[in-house]
């Protein structure tokens, strides 16, 4: 027996026989091309692109799920992107190299650009670029790819990685779980796995070297653990854990249409965070009260960004689908600094975490900002939308972005463009200076939303992407909790609803503490919603406030973490505290 630890990417437990899938290693010929053959070489490249386009079109015709369609459409856009095509053709013409080599160089450059980002969501998008590039290379080299749709038995899929287009061929009825060497929680594969509710663990290192076809394997997507060839005792223990989890999930499903209200009647609004349109089905099926954070920058991943019309269509589709569910809060583009977008120049910096990003970028690139605001306003005519500005550091920045918003509104009125005249505008509080002047920001905005991911790293001065100091990133640090408490109190003084949309908002260990602190709204990944609702419905507000009173007297995150973990374990058991 062997147990491997990885990253829990999609909740659930899957038990079964291994189906091992490892990508063939292809050596790309680094050939030079004679001048008279350059035109032929470029034609080979364009024929391969056309062949891949036809293949993707056939997949799109067969795709019934909206999430599958969106990924395929994105790949088709990338395949036809003028910058991609021109870059490959220029390399062939100017350097006299073969088309396969030229494609390899272009996608490697794009991937390296994304890898410099400290944002894991952006880093994961490199899989899409890799996928398209290698489809074209395979076509030029006459190499076929194994089709995972041939899987006819119920199996646990173990692979080195899964490209987005490969994941789309999976039959969820046959895949009991997925375990991958590589990948992260924000990859397209992880997003699809969560949407299809397939238990998944990624980032396992070299699990493909440690298993064989038809090995017995157990994948625990709740805690990020995989057991290979478990012994009898371990298998029995895992099956008991599996049965307990299945029973717990059935109980949670009964809460879908109930409100998140404590036993003594205190209500908390639970919303979902999304990066892509394909997550909406999971948002609705898990009973969200709306979208608390739509990360709009992922519309800009293709080189050159997104046009106003492309943005409008995306925002409108989300708003319309959520019309009978709840409002959609769209965060304006949080790009720049550590979030490098292909085709946008000047975003690479030596100190990106404190750099030219979010509203700072928008105030410098008003052309991009105005287009986005106009697209959001246009979409607001089709349902309930809210606008939220990220990384505001003080009143001056908020004033400046509000001036631009009002100018765009006036422009829409002059041109007869309909929009919600009462659209709410909120401020993310994720910079300590904004927390300290929350009383100055409150009169200028309709709501606060605490972005804990950045607030924690800025408060403790710890880069959350730096493995050497990752242990310092502590949500339960007394300084962080004092700031959160202060933001909530200042917001409520001005009758503002206060939300939280960082990872802390979806952590079951934080649930009771956040309720006791007085948050009005929590926004999280769709898969966390029902568990958080269960916790809230199992306690009283007075119990949560008593927990806060005890915690705020403590002077160490270790003591706070231990106290909360024991408190939660006594009431909810290991499913919550694992």
Which of 142, 168, 194, 256 has the alpha carbon at shortest distance from 12? Answer: 194
Using CA atoms, how far apart are residues 38 and 232, in angstroms rounded to an integer? Answer: 63
Q: Model confidence over 459-484: pLDDT tens digits?
A: 998 776 565 776 778 899 999 999 99
User: Is 501 assigned a catalytic role?
Assistant: yes
Contact at 8 Å (CB) between 195 and 171? no
pLDDT per residue as tens digits for the range 65-108: 565 666 677 778 778 888 888 889 999 999 999 999 999 898 88
- State whether 161 and 17 are in the same domain: yes
The one-character DSSP state at 25 is P
Q: Which of 370-400 are b and which e, b meaning 16 or more Cβ less than 10 Å from the residue's Cβ?
A: bbbbbbbbbbbbbbbbbbbbbbbbeeebbee
412 in catalytic set = no
The CATH code of the domain that includes 154 is 3.50.30.10
Higher per-residue pLDDT: 442 or 29: 442
Highest mean pLDDT among 122-126, 448-452, 523-527: 448-452
pLDDT the model gives residue 350: 54
Q: How many alpha carbons fall within 13 Å on the CB side of residue 172?
A: 13
Higher pLDDT, 279 or 144: 279
> How high is the pLDDT of residue 188?
65
Shared domain check, 122 and 193: no
Provide the whole-model pTM.
0.70
Give the best-scoring range by mean pLDDT among 93-102, 240-249, 271-280: 93-102
Residues in the chain: 578
Residues facing residue 429 across a β-bridge: 450
61 and 183 both lie in a single domain: no
Residue 498 predicted with pLDDT over 70 = yes
Is the residue at 128 inside a domain? Answer: yes
The CATH number linked to 564 is 3.20.20.60
Domain match, 578 and 447 both? yes
* Beta bridge mates, 175: 155
The single residue of 75, 188, 477, 557 carrying the catalytic annotation is 188
* 470 and 500 co-located in one domain: yes
Burial bucket for residue 196 (CB in 10 Å: 0-12, 13-18, 19+): buried
498 within some domain? yes
**Sign of torsion over alpha carbons 201, 204, 210, 213:** positive
542 and 527 part of one domain: yes
117 with 63, same domain: the answer is yes
SS3 category, 442 = helix
75 & 133 share domain? yes
Instruction: Give the span between the Cα atoms of 151 and 177, in whole angstroms.
Output: 13
User: Residue 341: pLDDT above 60?
Assistant: no
Say if residue 477 is in the same domain as residue 564.
yes
pLDDT at residue 338 in the model = 44
Instruction: With respect to residue 18, please indicate whether it lies within any of the assigned structural domains.
Output: yes
Of 121, 141, 161, the domain-final residue: 141
Which residue range(s) make up the domain with 190? 2-23+146-234
pLDDT at residue 363, as a whole number: 86
pLDDT digit string, tens, across residues 555-577: 999 999 999 999 999 998 766 65
Last residue of a domain, one of 215, 234, 253: 234
Measured distance CA(33)–CA(89) in Å, rounded? 13
Quote the pLDDT of residue 304: 60
Per-residue pLDDT reduced to its tens digit, 122-149? 666 676 777 788 788 888 888 766 667 6
β-strand 291-295 against 175-180: which pairing, if any?
unpaired
Query: Residue 327: inside a domain, yes or no?
Result: no
Domain count of the chain? 3
Give the residue-averaged pLDDT of 371-386: 97
Q: Decide if pLDDT at 276 tops 50.
A: yes
Among the candidates 113, 141, 169, a domain finishes at 141
pLDDT higher for 119 or 537?
A: 537
- The residue from 286, 362, 412, 501 that is catalytic is 501
d(CA 351, CA 372): 26
* Alpha helices in 116-201, H assignment, sequence order: 120-124, 126-141, 164-167, 188-196
Q: How far is CA 223 from CA 9, 48, 117, 356, 574, in A?
A: 9, 42, 26, 36, 11
**Same domain as 129, residue 55:** yes
- Give 537: exposed, middle or buried? Use CB within 10 Å, 0-12, 13-18, 19+: middle
Q: Select the highest-mean-pLDDT range: 34-43, 79-88, 147-156, 287-296.
A: 287-296
Higher-pLDDT residue of 74, 294: 294
Average pLDDT, the chain: 86
Supply the pLDDT for residue 55: 81
**Residue 337 pLDDT:** 46
CA 187 to CA 206: how far, in whole Å? 18
| CA proximity to 408, closest of 429, 391, 387, 432 | 387
Same domain for 85 and 218?
Answer: no
Beta-bridge partner residues of 51: none
Same domain? 502 vs 559: yes
């Amino acid at each position: 027996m062997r147990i491997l630890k990885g990253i829990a990417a999609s909740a659930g437990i899957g038990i079964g026989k291994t189906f091992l899938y490892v990508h063939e290693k292809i050596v790309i010929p680094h050939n030079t091309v004679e001048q008279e053959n350059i035109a032929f070489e470029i034609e080979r490249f364009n024929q391969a692109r056309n062949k891949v386009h036809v293949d993707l079109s056939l997949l799109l015709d067969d795709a019934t799920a909206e999430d599958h369609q969106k990924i395929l459409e994105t790949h088709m856009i990338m395949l036809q992107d003028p910058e991609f095509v021109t870059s490959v053709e220029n390399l062939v013409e100017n350097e006299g190299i073969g088309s396969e080599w030229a494609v390899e160089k272009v996608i490697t450059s794009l991937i390296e650009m994304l890898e410099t980002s400290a944002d894991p969501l952006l880093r994961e998008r490199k899989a899409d670029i890799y996928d398209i590039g290698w489809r074209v290379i395979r076509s030029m080299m006459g190499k076929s790819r194994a089709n995972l749709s041939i899987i006819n038995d119920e199996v646990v899929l173990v692979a080195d990685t899964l490209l987005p287009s490969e994941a789309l061929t999976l039959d969820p009825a046959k895949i009991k779980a997925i375990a991958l060497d590589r990948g992260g929680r924000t990859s397209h594969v992880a997003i699809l796995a969560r949407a299809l509710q397939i238990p998944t663990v990624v980032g396992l290192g070299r699990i493909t070297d440690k298993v064989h076809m038809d090995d017995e394997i157990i994948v625990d997507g709740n805690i990020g653990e995989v057991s290979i060839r478990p012994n009898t005792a371990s298998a029995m223990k895992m099956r008991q854990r599996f049965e307990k989890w299945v029973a717990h999930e059935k109980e949670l499903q009964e809460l879908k249409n109930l409100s998140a209200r404590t036993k003594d009647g205190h209500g908390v609004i639970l919303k979902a965070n999304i990066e892509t349109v394909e997550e909406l089905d999971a948002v609705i099926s898990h009973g969200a009260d709306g979208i608390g954070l739509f990360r709009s920058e992922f519309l800009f991943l293709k080189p050159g960004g997104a046009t106003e019309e492309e943005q409008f269509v995306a925002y409108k589709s989300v708003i319309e689908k959520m019309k009978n569910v709840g409002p959609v809060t769209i965060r304006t583009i949080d790009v720049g600094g550590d979030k490098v977008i292909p085709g946008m120049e000047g975003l690479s910096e030596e100190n990106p975490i404190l750099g030219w990003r979010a509203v700072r970028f928008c105030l410098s690139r008003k052309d991009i900002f105005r287009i986005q605001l106009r697209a959001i306003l246009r979409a607001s005519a089709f349902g309930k939308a809210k606008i939220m500005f990220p990384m505001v550091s003080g009143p001056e920045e908020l004033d400046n972005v509000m001036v631009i918003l009002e100018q765009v509104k006036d422009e829409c009125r002059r041109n007869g463009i309909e929009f919600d005249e009462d659209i709410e505008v909120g401020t993310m509080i994720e910079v300590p200076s904004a927390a300290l002047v929350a009383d100055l920001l409150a009169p200028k905005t309709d709501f606060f939303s605490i972005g804990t991911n950045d607030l924690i790293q800025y408060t403790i001065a710890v880069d959350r992407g730096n493995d050497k100091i990752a242990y310092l990133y502590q949500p339960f640090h007394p300084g962080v909790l004092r700031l959160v408490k202060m933001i909530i109190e200042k917001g409520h003084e001005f009758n503002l609803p206060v939300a939280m949309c960082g990872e802390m908002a979806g952590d079951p260990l934080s649930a009771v503490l956040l309720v006791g602190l007085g948050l009005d709204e929590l926004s999280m990944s769709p898969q966390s919603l029902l568990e958080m609702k269960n916790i809230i419905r199992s306690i009283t507000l007075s119990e949560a406030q008593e927990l806060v009173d005890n915690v705020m007297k403590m002077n160490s995150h270790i003591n706070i973490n231990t106290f909360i973990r024991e408190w939660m374990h006594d009431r909810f058991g290991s499913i919550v505290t694992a």
